[in-house]
Amino acid sequence: MPTNDSWLTVRDGHLCFDGADIVEVAGGAETPFYLFSERRLRHNIAGLQEAFGRRSPRSEIFYASKACSNLWFLNVVRDAGINLEVNSGGELEKALRAGFEPRQVVFNGVAKTRAEIAAAIRVGVRALLVDSLHELGRIAAVAAEVGRPAFVAPRIDVHVPTATHPGLETAHGGKAGIDRDAAAEAFRRAAADPGLEPVGLHLHIGSQITSVDPYRQALSNALDLVDEVEAAAGVRLQFVDCGGGFAVPYRESSPSGAAADYFCSRVSLDEYAATICGVLEARRPDLALFIEPGRSIAATSGVLVTRVENEKTKRTRDREGRVVGEERWLTIDAGFNTLLEHTNYRWYFRTIVAARADEPADAEFRLAGPLCDGGDVFAGDDDTPYRRFPAGTSVGDLVVFLDAGGYTLEMMNDYNARPRAGARAVTLAGDVVEVRRRETSSDLFAFDLTPGFEP
């Protein structure tokens, strides 16, 4: 089996995730479906609690619920004892439904509506993270209407480049956050407004950051700004929120050996914590540290189980139309309707054929999704166009995508009128329970209206 992941084992040739035989689970569930592991989820949270808590006892973890906001998932997160970062009114509602106290929630977002701001202030979230000077004014106005103070932490673009996918970089002149030169002004305005209380400074440099250096730089820049804004605005901040971004090893090694292969991370949680807590403790041990990890909690806690529905062999031709070879194609029942990241960011997820987990994976296949788009073809292994599977892989086989618990379930859609997938979870007791029902065909037109066609 092409992985060293100890959460994946093989029993009677079948791939097991946290001990659950995936072939058996798929016997009672329609594919595609996500399969989570409660034990793995708790393990990921405990790793962060240990790494950061040991070094900064006043650190607090706010799980970035955008990575997976399924209610069962959020209940486990709450029960594991950490807080929540939300990015919309909808995520705030889910947080409250899952039993989080408002004081456990920080509210992010780059286009918060007045209604979302009012809801956040009314329930009393811990802090609103402010994306612009305009938004600061909007929050002040809404706080006055609601008649309650708003605790704010301006989000500052600390201008640090990262080597992640460009779509995941957020603090290098992109759309998020306040320009660093306007930071002092933001805090001055917040301090001067009777409805606002500036409590912290927020930064988030991006997702899947495979080196600690950007964190060292970003936090140093942020602490320079804390000194500056405290002097300028006459305030004393309570916390610095360092955001998320800790990387997941989607690949165990880099095919090209490239240092900037963002799929291949070798940085441990301990190293992230040592860097971040080290910088903070050296300069401002009085400040509490907030972090907002999403991917590092969610990704490895789930896999996606899909089935091969079609196969073919097609010849490959050169520009003149001469046959130069042939390719075997497998088409599975999940495409970018179920795993959007595979096309929007060309994301790479390792795959294993569940019932052939002990066979050598040495035959090359093109792997495609079921959608009508020519682009619904999965990236290959090792930067080739091909996935390596056992030679006998064919229609009916289950293809399992690993590390698929983060930024996946959240992004499903019903393009081509394909019902969104369901989800199951392996509990601590080893039972497999349903945590999201699969959509039915009536869900597909539940929101459509037909004015003019009613009898």
**Among all residues, which ones are annotated catalytic?**
372
Q: Rounded to the nearest whole angstrom, what is the least distance from the CB of residue 85 to ligand PLP in the complex?
A: 6
Q: State which of residues 32, 200, 245, 335 lies at the interface with ligand PLP (CB under 6 A).
A: 245
d(CA 357, CA 359): 6
Residue with smaller CB distance to ligand PLP, 39 or 204: 204
Instruction: Lay out the site mask for ligand PLP across 127-166 (x = CB under 6 A, - = otherwise).
Output: ----------------------------------------
104-133 residues near ligand PLP, rule: CB under 6 A: 108
Q: Near ligand PLP by CB under 6 A, which window of 211-219, 240-248, 355-363, 411-419?
A: 240-248
Cβ distance 94 to 71 under 8 Å? yes
Instruction: Lay out the site mask for ligand PLP across 258-287 (x = CB under 6 A, - = otherwise).
Output: ------------------------------
Residue 4 has a CB neighbour count (10 Å cut-off) of: 8
Residue with smaller CB distance to ligand PLP, 163 or 444: 163
Placement of tokens 């090209």 in the chain: 256
Question: What SS3 state is found at 286?
Answer: coil
Residue with smaller CB distance to ligand PLP, 361 or 404: 404
Dig out the tokens for 12 from the structure: 């009677």
Placement of tokens 């409590």 in the chain: 199
Q: State which of residues 180, 295, 387, 418 lies at the interface with ligand PLP (CB under 6 A).
A: 295
Q: State which of residues 85, 230, 381, 397 lies at the interface with ligand PLP (CB under 6 A).
A: 85
Residue 90 CB partners (closer than 8 Å, separation 6+): none
376 binds ligand PLP (CB under 6 A): no
210 binds ligand PLP (CB under 6 A): no
Cβ distance 56 to 281 under 8 Å? yes
d(CA 40, CA 54): 21
408 binds ligand PLP (CB under 6 A): no
d(CA 370, CA 368): 7
Residue 167 CB partners (closer than 8 Å, separation 6+): 344, 345
249 binds ligand PLP (CB under 6 A): no
Question: What SS3 state is found at 136?
Answer: helix
Dig out the tokens for 140 from the structure: 């002040």
293 binds ligand PLP (CB under 6 A): yes
Residue with smaller CB distance to ligand PLP, 170 or 221: 170
Q: Rounded to the nearest whole angstrom, what is the least distance from the CB of residue 204 to ligand PLP in the complex?
A: 4
Q: Rounded to the nearest whole angstrom, what is the least distance from the CB of residue 108 to ligand PLP in the complex?
A: 5
d(CA 435, CA 440): 15
Going by DSSP bridges, is the β-strand pair 156-157/200-202 parallel, antiparallel, or unpaired? unpaired
Q: State which of residues 47, 198, 214, 244 lies at the interface with ligand PLP (CB under 6 A).
A: 244
403: left (phi over 0), alpha (psi -120 to 50) or beta: left
Sheet holding 14-17, edge to edge: 8-11, 14-17, 20-21
Residue with smaller CB distance to ligand PLP, 376 or 403: 403
Task: Report the interface residues with ligand PLP, using CB under 6 A.
Answer: 64, 67, 85, 108, 170, 204, 207, 243-246, 292-296
